[in-house]
Amino acid sequence: MSKNSKWKYGFFLGCVAPNRYPMIEASIRAVFDHLGAEILELEGASCCPAPGVFRAFHIPTWLVIAARNLTIAEELGIDVVTGCNGCYGTLRDAWVELNHEPELKKMINEHLAKIGREFKGSIEPKHVVQVLYQDLGIEYLRGFVKHKFKDLKVAVHYGCHIIKPSDKRPWGGEYEDPTFLDEIIEITGAKSINYKDKFQCCGAGGAVRTAVKEISADFSREKLENIRDAGADIIIDCCPFCHLQLDLGQMEANNFYKDIIGEPYKIPVIYVTQLLGLAFGIDPNLLGLMKNHDLQQVPPFISLEPFLEKVKNQLT
């Protein structure tokens, strides 16, 4: 890793990636390192806190803990990068609100002062995909592509909070039909296919998954049906919680809705940096694509074998 990289970020991990889907964390680290974008740890960061859950319980708690997380990066003087749509939603919404409402900022800082911290608003919270697309840029990424997939149909799932609310996001107000993630995916030679209700929510967020799993699983069932109908080989996403919902959620949909779905779903789910890393020629072991353990009941719940088998000969 270059020590004087012009790109330097504090890596906000959140909860689901480090604690349930560590392959996602590993692949982000590997790809950023490969691209010469430096990552520093945000020591002692907590849950973002989750926007649909803790924000829905008590807004002041949500805001003050989010502000604390941002102060950790402010101390380092670098922007934050997160690979999770939920964390992105929280950190970005909190950042915008605190920077636009001086009274709110004052109130939050009174609380933060009790633990010797102050929110200044000096750094920007970014998404991994935002860094790839806006800071590094498509052309820069293209220069790293070593292998091109020749035959790979991908269903891209953006998720919600990377795009919306659009007035607090960096995509120029686009919310119905953005293309940034498809553009990134297509530099690998993979084809992003269109499918019905592509921008529909996965169903995990908003405390719904914790409230009633069957409802969450029905959101995913509908997405999976549309994705399968369109003939996708794999699903690509950019959020660990969507990832969980589309991976573990396939098992749940297969279980809750077995009478109506026909064949059980078994579509491999791959995180954006895992696919990019493969095209860049990074060792699949570093991208969390290979299983090196005998643990039971851990992800990925849907086998990646069919995907790895399919692309084996394309990566030459």
Partner 1 sequence: MSDNVEKYIKRKVYKSTNSRIAQKFVDAGLEKLRACINCGTCTGGCPSGRRTAYRTRSVLRRALTGDESVLEDIGIWFCSTCYTCYERCPRGIPVTDMIIKLRNIAVEEGHILDPHFVLANKVFYVTGHGVPANGEGNQKWRDLRESYGLPPLPPTVHMHPEAVKECQELMKSVGFRDLLDKIEKQKEKEKLEAEKAEANKIEDKKKEKEKK
Interaction between residue 46 and partner 1 (CB under 8 A): yes
Nearest approach in angstroms of CB 204 to partner 1 is 7
- Closer to partner 1 at the Cβ: 57 or 140? 57
Interaction between residue 196 and partner 1 (CB under 8 A): no
- Closer to partner 1 at the Cβ: 46 or 151? 46
**What's the rounded Cα separation, in Å, for the pair 246 and 101?**
37
**What's the rounded Cα separation, in Å, for the pair 302 and 254?**
11
Interaction between residue 1 and partner 1 (CB under 8 A): no
Binding piece for partner 1, criterion CB under 8 A, among 121-129, 131-139, 150-158, 161-169: 161-169
Contact 12, 91 (CB under 8 A): yes
Contact 194, 286 (CB under 8 A): no
Contact 154, 278 (CB under 8 A): no
| Binding letters toward partner 1, positions 51-80, x by CB under 8 A | xxxxxxxxxxx--xx--x------------
- Closer to partner 1 at the Cβ: 188 or 216? 216
Interaction between residue 249 and partner 1 (CB under 8 A): no
Rounded to 10 deg, the angle between the 102-113 and 85-100 helix axes is 110
Nearest approach in angstroms of CB 295 to partner 1 is 5
Distances (CA, A) of 279 to 10, 214, 217, 288: 25, 37, 32, 14
What residue has token string 């969450």? 216
Interaction between residue 13 and partner 1 (CB under 8 A): yes
Interaction between residue 101 and partner 1 (CB under 8 A): no
For residue 164, the one-letter residue type is: K
Site residues (CB under 8 A) for partner 1, limited to 116-155: 117
**What's the rounded Cα separation, in Å, for the pair 165 and 178?**
13
Interaction between residue 26 and partner 1 (CB under 8 A): yes
